[in-house]
Every structure is written in C-alpha cells, then in structure tokens.
Structure 1
Amino acid sequence: MAQAAASKVVLVTGASSGIGAEVARQFVERGHTVYGTSRRPDAVTRPVPGVHYVRLDNADYQSAIECAAKVGVIDILINNAGESQAGALEDTPMEAIENLFATNVFGPVALTKAVLPGMRERRSGTVVMVGSMLSSFPVAFRSNYAATKSALKAFALATRREVAPYGIRMISVEPGTIATGIGDRRSIHIGDASPYRAEYETLAAATRKNEDAGIDAPTMAGVIVDAALLEHPKPFYAKGNQAGIVFALRRLAPRQLVLDLTARKHGLPRVRI
C-alpha cells in the first residue's frame, strides 16, 4: 500500500523513552514534524534530536486538551504512553486499578477526543492505539494491565468505522515482548505473605527472561510508523512473540489450550479445573 509522501505533524505520547522515543526518532528521520509528550518535558534526560517536547499527564484529562491546543494541527497521533502493572488481583488496591485505567485508557481516549475535531474538519488523520499482545493472550498476574490494553483495542476497532467517513484512520497495534527495560518501571502488587506469591515469583522470573530476549524497540517502532503512514492501513497489527503463528493458533485452537500455552510461556504449569 502506498504511503503518504507529504510531511506530517505527528504527536507521540510517552516519547521520552522506550518505544515512544524510537517512534519519534523514526518519524523525524522520515522528514516529519514531531512532538513528543512527557509529564515533565524539561526533565527529559535523553531527548530525541528534532522532537519538540510538550507536557502531557495521561491521568490528567485537562492536560490532554492543553497538549492538543499547544501543538495545533495534528495529522498523526500515536497513543503510546502508559504504565505497566503486575501482581495478584486480590492484593491490588482498587485505587491502583483505577489509576491504571486512567493512565492507560481514559488518558489516551481524552487525547483522541481532543484531536478528532481538527482531523474531522480537515477530513484527514490517523490515530494509533499502542496496546499489548497480553490483550489477545492474557496471563495470570497481569489481569489489570491486559484489561486496559483490551479496552484500548476495542476503542480503536469500534471507533474506526465511526470516524472513517471523515477520512480518519484508527489503528490498533499490539507489541509482543519487547526489550525496553519496562520491567524496571512496572508497578507490583503482591503481599509478602500472599498465598499467590510463589506463583507470582515464577511468572516474574519468566517475564524477565522473556523481556530480555524480546524484540528491540526500533523493530517495533518501525511497524507502528509504517502503519501510521499508510493511506489505507489495516485495523490491527501485531509484532513479536511469533505473532503470525500464535494468532493463527488463537483462531483455530480451543480457548483453554491457548490460555494454558500462554501460562506455560510465562512459567506457570497447567491447572485443570
């Protein structure tokens, strides 16, 4: 499919590190005007050359309105910023779950709402929701995080038809395990005496191993950038964790088998119930 040749104005959330920083870098390298968000733009330790940093706090919906207004015309929005969380559901306070949804779901939705009027009036625009393959392949001790990413995917796929008559493209992208060091920034909720602690530690060790061997940020960022620049992008893209094979398996195999295999990938044995 052909890519749009003209220079675009791109807003990338969470552009201070990880996938977001690499997405911003690749857009700059392709000649586009790029704005990247951070909760503290002045404190970004390794700014990407050519990126204009603006303030955005995903959990502060007013900041989404202010961010969109400051940037002005936005041709492409990459909703990438978010928080990673793990732990036992029983040990996780409701406040932590609510905060996770505010950061991972409601914030991106608020920013999308802020940019849609301009895109609709210009009859052109692209919004990419960066989720996680844990949405399609949920695993124990990641329930809240997987739920937020599932919500993002549903927003993107449902809204795709809603905004399509106005020339706006909505895309959902699911990265697999990525070696970006996100595990060091993940919030953990597991009690010292939790009955779930032993299995959680098993999963945590397997997760660290999987992330160390995951795909690199430039590869994943390339998928996002390529999709965002297509004139007619697909609704959904996935990369990593042998995506082509595992999504085919998901369509053909019984759901319980897929859940069992996902658990095994994360170090957990099958439990028959």
Structure 2
Amino acid sequence: MSKVVFITGASSGIGKAIGEFLLVKGFKVYGTSRNPENVKQSSIELVALDVRNVASIQTAIQTVLDKEGKIDVLVNNAGVGITGPLEEIPLEEIKNNFETNLFGPIEVMKAVLPSMRQQKVGLIINITSIAGYMGLPFRSVYSASKGALELITEGIRMEVKPFGIHIVNVAPGDFATNIAAGRYHAPLVKGSAYEKTYGTTLEMMNEHVDAGSNPNQMAEAIFKVIESQNPKVHYKVGAFMQKFSIVLKRILPDTVYEKLLMNHYKL
C-alpha cells in the first residue's frame, strides 16, 4: 500500500511543491488549505483546515483517517511570515504569528499522534526555518516562532520515539515562493525611528525571496527524509551561506556574530 502523506498549507509554495513531487513518487497525498474551493489548480486532494482552529484540525485529520485508515507522514508546513520593528508590531499580529507557526503545528501533531501510536509507526516533519536559528533584525517574531518549533520538536521527538514515531525538523532558507505576499509586515511609518533601517532591510528581504532557490529542492529533501530508515533531528535546506550562517553562530563570539548580521543588513 502507498504511504499516506498529510501536508498542511499545500495550496501554494513549498507545500504544493512537496505534494506534487510526492504524488509523482507514488504516495497518496492530502494537502490542506483554509479555503480549498478557492484553489483553481491542484493535483493534490485538498481538505479544509485552519491551523488556528483546533476543531478544524481534528475534522481534517479524521476525514483522511476515515478515507485511508492511516496517516503515515505528516508534513507540518503551514506558516506565515511577519516583519517589522518589534516596537511597531501590534500584539495581535504577534499572537497570530505564534498561533500559525507554533501552536497550530503543535495541535496538528496532537491530532495525528494517537493514530500513529496505534500503528506503532509514523513520521512527522516540521518545516521550520534557518531564520529560527538566530534572532534577525525586523524578523524577531518570525525567528522566535520558528525557533520555538525547533525546540518543541527536539523535546517531543524523545517522548514519542518509544512508539516507533520519528519527528524531525527541516529548516529551509530563502525559496522563490509567494510567502512575501502573504506575510504581515508592519507599515513603513514616515518619521519613525526605524523608517530608514527597516525600509532598507525590507527591500533586502524581498530580494532574497525573489532570488530564492527552487521549491523543488525542498520537495526532494522531504522525500529523502521520508525514505530514510533513521532520520536525523535537524535538516537544513538552502543556499550554502544561509546554512553556513548557523555554523558561524555556533563558533563565533556573540558580539562578533551580531556585528556580521548588522553589517549584512546595513544597520
């Protein structure tokens, strides 16, 4: 029997690329979207799910379990970007980011784990971010939400391993997707103390996304994780310098690393 893969946030971007790639490889793929009826073209079967709504999560998971009798692989991909000076980001938007990037994936894991535990086998792949390994200027909230998911994964991985379930992190760098269009970004405020520095950084971030790697690179990485007999805890996917930045953070003094980042962002 084909493995059943459940991917959150699969109507576009990385999630869609992963789903289409795995479909070709012979997997039975279900993706999610908040509004599947609005998705005009999708080779993936989409079910309605909003990661900020627990009832929606449970209904979507149960729908697939009723159809297939199992979920072999969960790819926790749904997420949202957020940028801005921390001082100028409304608390409501910070909470929404954590609801989507952290609390939502936790609830999806909680919904799928009982069936995996019953099967005595399962794989959960949490899509985090290289930005989650470091606090980045004007992306502090995003870095924090993705970094928190990395640590949650490390902890829960050990809790469920005795049941034959593996949980891993896959941290992408910049990929050419529509994430910039869908993220919240604090508006550039005329006369703000951050007007110049935030404006310059925002332009740089948008350029990085536009010039990002092909999302199929992520799809191939996810396929390799699924095929692995003994998956690792952490995977990083992206440009060499983005991955190397994590190594630099580990080996350089904090103040030196901070200076490198500030130079990079022209702060």
Q: Same fold (TM over 0.5)?
A: yes
Q: 1:167 to 1:101 in 2, by over 3 A?
A: same
SS in 2 for 1:107: helix
SS in 1 for 2:41: coil
Task: Tell me the equivalent position of 2:31.
Answer: 36
What is the distance in 1 between the residues matched to 2:182 and 2:95? 18
How many residue pairs match? The answer is 261
Specify which of 102, 117, 128 is matched with residue 120 of structure 1. Answer: 117
Task: Tell me the equivalent position of 2:255.
Answer: 256
8 Å contact from structure 1 (residues 88, 190) kept in 2: no
Compute the TM-score of the two structures, normalised by the length of structure 1. Answer: 0.91
8 Å contact from structure 2 (residues 166, 231) kept in 1: yes
Which stretch of the first structure deviates more once superposed, 244-253 or 204-213? 244-253
AA of the residue aligned to 1:251: R
8 Å contact from structure 1 (residues 138, 259) kept in 2: no
AA of the residue aligned to 2:135: P
Q: Does 1:140 align with 2:133?
A: no
How much does 1:223 deviate? 1.1
What is the distance in 1 between the residues matched to 2:76 and 2:169? 10
What RMSD in Å do the two structures reach over aligned CA positions? 1.4
What is the distance in 2 between the residues matched to 1:42 and 1:210? 31
Task: Tell me the equivalent position of 2:217.
Answer: 219
AA of the residue aligned to 2:4: V
Which stretch of the first structure deviates more once superposed, 236-245 or 167-176? 236-245
Q: Percent identity?
A: 36
Specify which of 59, 70, 84 is matched with residue 66 of structure 1. Answer: 59
What is the distance in 1 between the residues matched to 2:59 and 2:266? 45
Compute the TM-score of the two structures, normalised by the length of structure 2. Answer: 0.93
Task: Tell me the equivalent position of 1:12.
Answer: 7
Deviations 1:42-68 (A, max 9, x none): 111221x2x211010011111111111
Alignment of 1:79-158 (within 5 A): 79-158=76-155
How much does 1:256 deviate? 2.4
How much does 1:116 deviate? 0.2
5+ residue gaps in structure 1? 1-5
SS in 2 for 1:172: strand
AA of the residue aligned to 2:61: A
8 Å contact from structure 1 (residues 139, 259) kept in 2: no
What is the distance in 2 between the residues matched to 1:183 and 1:263? 22
SS in 2 for 1:134: helix
8 Å contact from structure 2 (residues 188, 198) kept in 1: no
How much does 1:138 deviate? 2.4
AA of the residue aligned to 2:196: A
What is the distance in 2 between the residues matched to 1:157 and 1:167? 16
- Runs of 4+ with >6 A deviation: none
Deviations 1:177-201 (A, max 9, x none): 1111321222111352321121111
Q: 1:88 to 1:57 in 2, by over 3 A?
A: same
